[in-house]
């Protein structure tokens, strides 16, 4: 069910619901009666700082990505999802103040070149057929030469993207082998559907990205990820790929207890972890290095020119596997293709 706070009656969302015949119900401030379920959406006029830098620590290399958080909560249910710990609600909260969101994006564009995207506290496209957020963001970003905007998803909900101009827009998919999708990524699109959706976006002219994040170790790790990559190489042309990120599963210590309680058959419970310098649990460094090396070399054997980066990894691993240290934030981001366009640096 979609609930709309009465103060959001004039919002972009309500106009679309009325135009498209989408059912919704107006409510007052009190949200106590909304069943705390991933099937419910709540449109709220609450204020927020929407655009901000992706949170990171100094210890690991961070790519200076910016996020715009207009949505909190996700219809999917991944075992490893940090939202289980981070949010105090399961329903999907959507902020209706599109005017402020637009102002914050324009203000960021005035400061310089930035990579920006949704998908930090939700899936960018899972509910796009209902919320129409691509209709809101894409026309704004098409006009901003300083912004490259990424929609990050585990869905195949791409229909609305074909009404738009792909200029300055990236569509990205998080990928895992089919058996990991089945045990760890509930209600998401299957691997074939994700790859086919990426292929269609690439055919249309969007640049696409792939996130091997979180990379999960399990007994068929080598075969599972090799098969996945084979299917990806067969469908996606290398020159449609803007970049690829790789990062192994990491989490705040409390998460494992939640996984034990909610998903007793999760693959995540079969591995050992060690506390790392930022307080998060990770696989042992030797295993992490093995996993990153395996995926990196498989990708490079087929796609030699795609920019690959590691999200929140130690500089020693960068040097060992990629032969250089990308540096911190501003320095790191200069490695992205967006910062080389038109010969600019």
Residues in touch with ligand SF4 (CB under 6 A): 74, 76-78, 81, 83, 122-123, 154
Nearest distance from residue 195's CB to ligand SF4, in Å? 17
Q: Least distance to ligand SF4 from the beta carbon of 95, Å?
A: 16
Closest CB 78 distance from ligand SF4, rounded Å: 3
In the Cβ-directed half-sphere of 57, how many Cα atoms lie within 13 Å? 11
| Closest residue by Cα to residue 215 from 156, 298, 320, 143 | 298
DSSP 28-67: -S--TTS---TT-EEEE------EEEPP--SSSB----EE
The conformation of residue 227, written as its DSSP 8-state character, comes to H
Judge residue 34's burial from the number of C-beta atoms within 10 Å of its C-beta, 0-12 exposed, 13-18 middle, 19 or more buried.
middle
- Least distance from ligand SF4 to the Cβ atom of residue 103, Å: 26
Read off the tokens for 246.
């790789």
Closest Cα to residue 89, out of 70, 100, 73? 73
Tally of CB atoms within 10 A around 141? 22
Q: Which is nearer to ligand SF4, 123 or 313 (CB)?
A: 123
**In 3D, which of 235, 188, 202, 4 has the Cα closest to residue 80?**
188
Nearer Cβ to ligand SF4, position 80 or 243?
A: 80
Q: Provide, rounded to whole angstroms, the least separation between the CB of residue 154 and ligand SF4.
A: 5
Closer to ligand SF4 by Cβ: residue 82 or 106: 82
Angstrom CA distances, 312 to 56, 247, 262, stand at 8, 7, 27
Which residue number, 181 or 321, has a Cβ lying nearer to ligand SF4? Answer: 181
The DSSP letter of residue 313 is B
CB of 340 to ligand SF4, least distance (A): 29
Minimum CB–partner distance for residue 288 and ligand SF4 (Å): 20
Question: Which residue, 78 or 116, is less far from ligand SF4 as judged by CB?
Answer: 78
List, edge to edge, every strand of the sheet that includes 281-282.
250-251, 281-282, 274-275
Residue closer to ligand SF4 by CB (options 213, 333) is: 213
Q: Which is nearer to ligand SF4, 81 or 308 (CB)?
A: 81
d(C-alpha 94, C-alpha 5), whole Å: 11
Please state whether beta strands 274-275 and 250-251 pair in parallel, antiparallel, or not at all (unpaired): unpaired
Q: How far is the CB of 55 from ligand SF4 (least distance, A)?
A: 15
What minimum distance in Å lies between the beta carbon of 156 and ligand SF4?
Answer: 13
The Cβ of residue 254 has, within 10 Å, a number of other Cβ atoms equal to 11
Q: Closer to ligand SF4 at the Cβ: 5 or 122? A: 122
Q: Facing residues of 52 across strands?
A: 67
Our CB check for ligand SF4 shows the closer of 81 and 197 to be 81
């Amino acid at each position: 069910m979609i609930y709309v706070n009465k103060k959001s009656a004039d919002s972009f969302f309500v106009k679309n619901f009325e135009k498209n015949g989408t059912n919704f119900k107006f409510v007052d401030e009190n949200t106590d009666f909304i069943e705390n379920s991933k099937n419910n959406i709540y449109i709220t006029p609450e204020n927020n700082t929407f655009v901000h830098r992706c949170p990171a620590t100094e210890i690991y290399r961070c790519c200076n990505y910016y996020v715009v958080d207009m949505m909190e909560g996700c219809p999917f249910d991944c075992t490893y999802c940090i939202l289980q710990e981070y949010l105090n609600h399961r329903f999907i909260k959507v902020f209706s103040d599109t005017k402020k969101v637009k102002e914050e994006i324009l203000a960021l564009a005035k400061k310089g070149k930035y990579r920006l995207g949704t998908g930090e506290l939700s899936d960018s496209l899972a509910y796009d057929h209902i919320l129409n957020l691509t209709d809101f963001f894409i026309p704004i970003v098409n006009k901003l030469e300083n912004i490259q905007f990424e929609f990050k998803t585990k869905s195949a909900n791409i229909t609305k993207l074909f009404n738009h101009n792909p200029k300055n827009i990236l569509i990205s998919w998080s990928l895992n082998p089919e058996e990991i999708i089945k045990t760890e990524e509930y209600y998401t699109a299957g691997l074939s559907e994700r790859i086919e959706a990426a292929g269609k976006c690439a055919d249309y002219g969007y640049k696409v990205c792939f996130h091997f994040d979180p990379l999960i170790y399990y007994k068929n790790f080598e075969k599972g990820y090799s098969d996945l990559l084979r299917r990806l190489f067969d469908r996606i042309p290398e020159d449609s790929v803007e970049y690829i990120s790789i990062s192994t599963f990491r989490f705040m210590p409390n998460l494992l207890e939640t996984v034990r309680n909610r998903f007793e058959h999760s693959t995540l419970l079969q591995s050992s972890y060690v506390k790392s310098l930022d307080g998060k649990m990770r696989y042992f460094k030797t295993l992490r290095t093995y996993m990153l090396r395996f995926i990196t070399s498989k990708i490079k054997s087929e796609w030699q020119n795609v920019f690959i980066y590691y999200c929140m990894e130690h500089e020693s691993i960068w040097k060992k596997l990629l032969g250089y240290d990308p540096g911190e934030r501003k320095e790191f981001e200069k490695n992205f293709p967006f910062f080389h366009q038109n010969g600019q640096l």
